[in-house]
Chain A
Amino acid sequence: MTEQAFGRRDFLKTAVVGGAAAATTGIPQPQSAHAQLPAAAAPAPSAAPAMEGYAFLNLEEAAFVEALVDHMVPADDLSPKGTDLGINIYIDRALAGAWGQGDRLYMQGPWKKGVPNQGYQLPLTPAQLYRAGIAATNAHCAKTYGKTFDRIDETQREAVLVALSTGKLTFDGGLPTGLFWGTLYQTVMEGMFADPIYGGNRNKAGWRMLGFPGAIAVHREHVEQYRDKLFPSDPIGIADIG
């Protein structure tokens, strides 16, 4: 039984039905949100890991986001995979928080489609767009592959993301694919590269991958010293500065 075929959602559903018995049947544990990093990349623990559990995503959405971030950010010697970076946790918190709920977004009608030069014109907060987009993508996957995104194989996932990112996929119901993809992509980038206080970029592994030194950044003496040279960086996040 592959991980994709029996993921977190099944575990949780089974757990609800089967109660304590489920824990003893060899069902894979849900992804640990702070699984081990490759030894080379493992720093001393700094910020406390984000709390487990989802504040916004429902079971289907959580499964989608976990599958998405692990597909987009697979584990290799550059970084752990997306869920081990906490990108799924970041996304959940972002959608539950002020930004996701439409903070600073002008939300008065009338609502018109407009032209691309006029920017975002949907009557949806980012959280509502995310919710509708996941449902529409899963509907497409169900129609095409008979399964939701989290249960299709790697090749199929790749095909879905290519279709989403190039606009070849058109959602039933009129939700613009490009706006959903743009929001999805932006939040994955944020979850990988924002300060770890927001739940992603765990252990600053996203920054480590780039050699970005993070929040400390007092480089007055470094500009000349490290011009065209490797800057030896052990990134520092906001929580590391007292």
Chain B
Amino acid sequence: MATKLKEVDVVIVGLGWTGGILSKELAEAGLKVVALERGAMRTAANDYSLPGIRDELRFAVHKDLMMNTARDTLTVRNTPSQEALPMRRLGSFLPGEVVGGSAVHWSGHTWRWTDMELKVRSMYEERYGKKFIPDDMTIQDWGISYEELEPYYDRFEYIAAISGKAGNLKGVIQPGGNPFEAPRAREYPLPPLTQVLSGMMFTEAAKNAGYHPFPRPTANASQAYTNPDGAQFGACQYCGYCQKYGCEANAKGSPHVAVIPFALRNPNFELRANSWVNKVLKDSDGKRVTGVTYTNVLNGEEFEQPASLVLLCAYALNNVHLMLLSGLGQPYDPVTQTGIIGRNYCYQTGLGATLFFENRRFNPFMASGGTNVTFDDFNVNWAFDRGPHGFVGAYNVSAAHNGGAPIEYRPLPRGTPQWGKAWKAARAKWYQGAMNIGASGSVMANRYNWLDLDPTYRNAFGQPLMRMTFDYKENEQKMGQHAARIVNDLAKAMNPTHLTEATARSSWTVVPYQSTHNTGGSIMGTNPRDSAVNRYLQSWQYHNLFTVGANVFPHNSSYNPTGPVGALTYWMLDAIKNRYLKNPGPLVQA
């Protein structure tokens, strides 16, 4: 029997970027806030410090900061006719499991998603006609515009210490930035990172091919920085231990640097780490939720935490899982195309070519998480005509090194022996001489890609695992083939000694690592018939339940998701603070 605790104003499930921002701001607004985090408390000073943080085996290979699949995981399959089986260890994506969440170990790439995503169906229909969008492609507009989100993107960029170069200031194209980006009110808070050799070579080749390369905007502080709230960041040291590691220089825009310390100092806020939320509790009137139940994972004790406001701020997949476990909304059924929760699950696609240059010294270990150079000529460039190629969506192309830790970074030309003296010689030679050109591609929602509860497998708490049914459809395969051609042509133009060409992904596999960019499942939208939450990320059905994370994205773009996740968090915060608290109830009439 769960011990019932005293009611609080707000309970927040998950303390990463979204939960961290909301904890700080709502506690400062005078509300009593409790955050429940499944992971342990970690601090930069104690846990992400030298020398221990520079341990590739512990952090990258054994994934010390990430979700423990022995306790809870998903089952996975490509098609509805297969039997889903458990993802027994992490591979394709790496959700975090500490205070700070995945944003402790992320690289920092921070983008503004434009109307090309937010109004995806209407823009494609307007330009190409309704028939251009396949019947089983369940894309829809998000119910929000770029113009509305712009101030919130801006706020997040200044909170998270983003380094970059504006390409479009209030409609005026800026040299050195991304000419295809949507207009922004002001520059990034910090100038771009120093470029590495591979990025410079890519820049030159891309320009020669007529593309428009620019330094990728990223939460790696190019200089020491104090954000508008007073959080202090060190300057990036280009240490090469960024993605999968915490930053010992406090140079990475992470919530344990930018927002969580403010919450922890506020007497209105209480963090309960090691707390596994099992269920959101519904009121008998069917219009409100009353709180959550959770398990203290240190001793198995169960608690009920009543709250006036419940905010689901866990990793995208976990927010959806919790909604399914709690019966919050009707589960999606792809056969009848009824139900909402689990609908429009998307991932990303990608590919890469590896170029080998005799006599180049890339020093891959001198790099940051975001030292990449990117071009968007086939991405947010709406002038790129998808018509002849027959796909909806986009991809960005980029290159650079992000680290060279040698267990995982082992580039070798195809045909190299895998062991022995010849392997050693090739390994020593090409460690310095290899670089990659990659493309990251969007995934449009599809009727047969979804999330629901698994009928067989259970987690350590006796609850059903979530089941993921996902594969790349013809649309993504066509886009991948286009991207592979562009990448390979560019790679050949750089005249490498050896080239391992990029090939389009045809099918999704749970190994190896691809990207921690899982989206959808409890999506935002304009009406309760096809979305779980309204434009303020408030549940259509339970007005005191909100959720924010990539789980609210109706489809996935080629960009990393944290930019809109951060912007939507501030957008939702404004709606809660300035409207909901004054008059609790639905913010949008269904």
Main secondary structure of the interface of B (DSSP, over half): loop
Question: Is the beta-carbon distance between B239 and A218 smaller than 8 angstroms?
Answer: yes
CB-CB nearest in chain A for B72: A106
Cβ of A118 < 8 Å from any Cβ of B?
yes
Which residues on A sit within 8 Å (CB–CB) of B419? 71-73, 161, 188
Cβ of B299 < 8 Å from any Cβ of A?
no
CA distance A102 to B103 in the complex (A): 26
A76-B421, A99-B62, A228-B361 known; A217 and B239 CB under 8 Å?
Answer: yes
CA distance A188 to B407 in the complex (A): 10
Question: Which of A106, A193, A209, A212 interacts with B88 by CB under 8 Å?
Answer: A106
Which residues on A sit within 8 Å (CB–CB) of B70? 102-107
CB-CB nearest in chain A for B407: A193
Question: Is the beta-carbon distance between B428 and A210 smaller than 8 angstroms?
Answer: yes
A210-B428, A219-B365 known; A108 and B458 CB under 8 Å?
Answer: yes
CB-CB nearest in chain A for B54: A215
Question: Is the beta-carbon distance between A106 and B87 smaller than 8 angstroms?
Answer: yes
Question: Is the beta-carbon distance between B88 and A222 smaller than 8 angstroms?
Answer: no
Question: Is the beta-carbon distance between B363 and A115 smaller than 8 angstroms?
Answer: no
Which one of B27-35, B266-274, B507-515 is at the A interface? B507-515
Cβ of B52 < 8 Å from any Cβ of A?
yes
Cβ of B139 < 8 Å from any Cβ of A?
no
Which residues on A sit within 8 Å (CB–CB) of B457? 108
Q: Which of A102, A193, A230 has the most CB of B within 10 A?
A: A193
CB-CB nearest in chain A for B235: A220
Question: Is the beta-carbon distance between B55 and A112 smaller than 8 angstroms?
Answer: no
Which residues on A sit within 8 Å (CB–CB) of B456? 110
Number of CB contacts from chain A to chain B under 8 A:
179
CA distance A211 to B238 in the complex (A): 17
For chain A, the count of residues having a C-beta within 8 Å of the partner chain is 64
Question: Which of B365, B423, B508 interacts with A217 by CB under 8 Å?
Answer: B365
A112-B85, A210-B428, A241-B50 known; A224 and B418 CB under 8 Å?
Answer: no
CA distance A107 to B68 in the complex (A): 12
Interface residues of B in 27-64 (CB under 8 A from A): 50-52, 54-57, 61-63
Interface residues of A in 16-39 (CB under 8 A from B): none
CA distance A74 to B425 in the complex (A): 11
Question: Is the beta-carbon distance between B87 and A119 smaller than 8 angstroms?
Answer: yes
Question: Is the beta-carbon distance between A229 and B89 smaller than 8 angstroms?
Answer: no
Question: Is the beta-carbon distance between B418 and A209 smaller than 8 angstroms?
Answer: no
Cβ of B78 < 8 Å from any Cβ of A?
yes
A209-B424, A212-B365, A217-B365 known; A189 and B197 CB under 8 Å?
Answer: no
Cβ of A190 < 8 Å from any Cβ of B?
yes
Question: Is the beta-carbon distance between A241 and B237 smaller than 8 angstroms?
Answer: no
Question: Is the beta-carbon distance between A118 and B77 smaller than 8 angstroms?
Answer: yes
Question: Which of B83, B90, B365, B407 interacts with A189 by CB under 8 Å?
Answer: B407
A161-B419, A226-B363 known; A121 and B88 CB under 8 Å?
Answer: yes
Cβ of A45 < 8 Å from any Cβ of B?
no
CB-CB nearest in chain A for B50: A241
Question: Is the beta-carbon distance between B406 and A212 smaller than 8 angstroms?
Answer: yes
CB-CB nearest in chain B for A115: B82
Question: Which of B196, B240, B509 interacts with A119 by CB under 8 Å?
Answer: B509
Which residues on B sit within 8 Å (CB–CB) of A115? 78, 82
Which residues on B sit within 8 Å (CB–CB) of A117? 76, 78, 507-510
Question: Is the beta-carbon distance between B418 and A185 smaller than 8 angstroms?
Answer: yes
CB distance from B335 to the nearest CB of A (A): 22
Cβ of B404 < 8 Å from any Cβ of A?
yes
Interface residues of A in 190-212 (CB under 8 A from B): 190, 193-195, 197-198, 206-207, 209-212
Question: Which of A193, A222, A230 interacts with B366 by CB under 8 Å?
Answer: A222
CB-CB nearest in chain A for B512: A119
CB-CB nearest in chain A for B360: A228
Cβ of A5 < 8 Å from any Cβ of B?
no
CB-CB nearest in chain A for B425: A78
CA distance A209 to B425 in the complex (A): 9
Question: Is the beta-carbon distance between B410 and A223 smaller than 8 angstroms?
Answer: no
CB-CB nearest in chain B for A118: B85
CA distance A133 to B324 in the complex (A): 41
Interface residues of A in 106-135 (CB under 8 A from B): 106-108, 110, 112, 114-121
Question: Is the beta-carbon distance between A227 and B236 smaller than 8 angstroms?
Answer: no
CB distance from B565 to the nearest CB of A (A): 26
Interface residues of A in 29-55 (CB under 8 A from B): none
Question: Which of B63, B240, B423 interacts with A104 by CB under 8 Å?
Answer: B63
CB-CB nearest in chain B for A229: B361
CB distance from A164 to the nearest CB of B (A): 10
Question: Which of B238, B239, B424, B507 interacts with A76 by CB under 8 Å?
Answer: B424
Interface residues of B in 403-452 (CB under 8 A from A): 404-407, 410, 418-421, 423-425, 427-428, 431-432
Which residues on B sit within 8 Å (CB–CB) of A209? 424, 427-428
Cβ of B569 < 8 Å from any Cβ of A?
no
Cβ of B463 < 8 Å from any Cβ of A?
no
Cβ of B300 < 8 Å from any Cβ of A?
no
CA distance A117 to B312 in the complex (A): 30
CA distance A189 to B427 in the complex (A): 11
- The 16 sampled A-B contact pairs (Cβ below 8 Å) are A78-B424, A78-B428, A104-B62, A105-B88, A112-B83, A117-B78, A119-B76, A119-B89, A119-B510, A119-B511, A195-B55, A217-B240, A219-B237, A219-B238, A224-B194, A230-B361
The chain A residues found within 8 Å of chain B, CB to CB, are 71-74, 76, 78-79, 99, 102-108, 110, 112, 114-121, 158, 161, 165, 185, 188-190, 193-195, 197-198, 206-207, 209-220, 222-224, 226-231, 238-241
Q: Enumerate the 6 nearest inter-chain pairs by beta-carbon distance, A residue then B residue, closest first.
A: A215-B54, A241-B51, A72-B419, A219-B366, A117-B509, A217-B239
The chain B residues found within 8 Å of chain A, CB to CB, are 50-52, 54-57, 61-63, 68-70, 73, 76-78, 82-91, 194, 196-197, 200, 235-241, 360-363, 365-367, 404-407, 410, 418-421, 423-425, 427-428, 431-432, 456-458, 507-511
Q: Other CB < 8 Å A-B pairs besides A104-B69, A118-B76, A118-B510, 9 of them?
A: A71-B420, A79-B424, A117-B78, A117-B507, A118-B77, A118-B84, A206-B406, A212-B365, A226-B361
